[in-house]
Structure 1
Amino acid sequence: MKLNEEQRKARDKLVAKEEKRLLEIYKDLPNEKLKVAQGLIKQAARNRVMLNYMWKDIQENGEYDLFQQSQNVPAYERERPIARLYNTRDQSYQRVIKQLTDLLPKENIQNETNEPSTDYL
């Protein structure tokens, strides 16, 4: 899908907004790690915006469509390319977010345990 100038500006604005949100989340990174993380944050922001566009398309048009190889062969359902791309992009997004989270200082990552929290004491 080719975007016109207005659509491109709208997408870029969403990417900038997501980038700002992620920078706020990862603001506690040490300065040397933040320099490395900036590229990951930009990529994560782009992926998330594109995932949202793709999700909207999938919701409106479904994951499958009817495909017919020729008039002599009956049509069958096949996965739409955007559904396959969505899954690939989502995996990429999850990897980038994991990389970013792994850069956080260990004290910022809460350890999950089966023990009840004593924060209220």
Structure 2
Amino acid sequence: MDGAEVKRLEDVAKDKRQKAKKRRISVEEKRLRKIYENIAEDQKGIADGLIRRAAYMRVTLEDYEIDLDEKGYVEQFTQSEKTAAYERERPVARLYNTMNRNYQQIVKQLSDMLPKGDGEGDKTPKQDGFDEFMNRR
């Protein structure tokens, strides 16, 4: 197998991974849209962008997690053959930590947009007056 054939096979594999990632992102977007479907109409435009970013981030974070599980958070690194190698944090570990923090912020923003009702299907606890009673004391 010559270099051109190897390159072509690598390109095909890369294309398959990219298509699979796009499908995973689409599935995650649909899942999030279902969760956040009751957001107020005036916030849906903002929520749409956040949902798209959150879906991308979650899928990417899952990929980073696989990489980190397989290769670890640290690696041996050296600037040149003349210097001793030392252990350093892998760049993907830093990317993972930053993206995870940003993902958590986006999910919090989306969750804060959800209506704060007290209906039967609502998952927020109903107010029973206890807090109000305690604050009067």
Would you call these one fold, judging by a TM-score over 0.5?
Answer: yes
In the TM superposition, 1:50-89 aligns within 5 A as 50-89=60-99
1:101 aligns to what?
111
1:55-85 deviation line (CA, Å, top 9, x unaligned) = 1000000000001222332211000000000
Q: Identity percentage over the alignment? A: 41
Structure 2's unaligned 5+ residue stretches are 1-10, 131-137
Confirm or deny that 1:11 pairs with 2:25: no
Tell me the CA shift for residue 14 of structure 1.
0.3
Structure 1 gaps, min length 5: 116-121
How far apart in 1 are the matches of 2:57 and 2:112? 19
Larger radius of gyration: 2
**CA–CA distance in structure 1, aligned partners of residues 60 and 116 of structure 2:** 30
| RMSD, aligned CA | 2.3
Runs of 4+ residues deviating >3 angstroms: none
Partner of 2:124: 110
Equivalent position amino acid for 2:124 in 1: Q
| Structure with more of its chain in helix, by fraction | 2
TM-score with structure 1 setting the length: 0.84
- How many residue pairs end up in the alignment? 113
| 1:65-120 CA-partner distances (Å, limit 9, x unpaired) | 00122233221100000000000100110111111011111225625xxx8xxxxx
CA-to-aligned-CA distance 1:9-43 (integer Å, 9 cap, x gap): 10000000000000111011122222220110000
Higher relative contact order (CA 8 A, sep 6+): 1
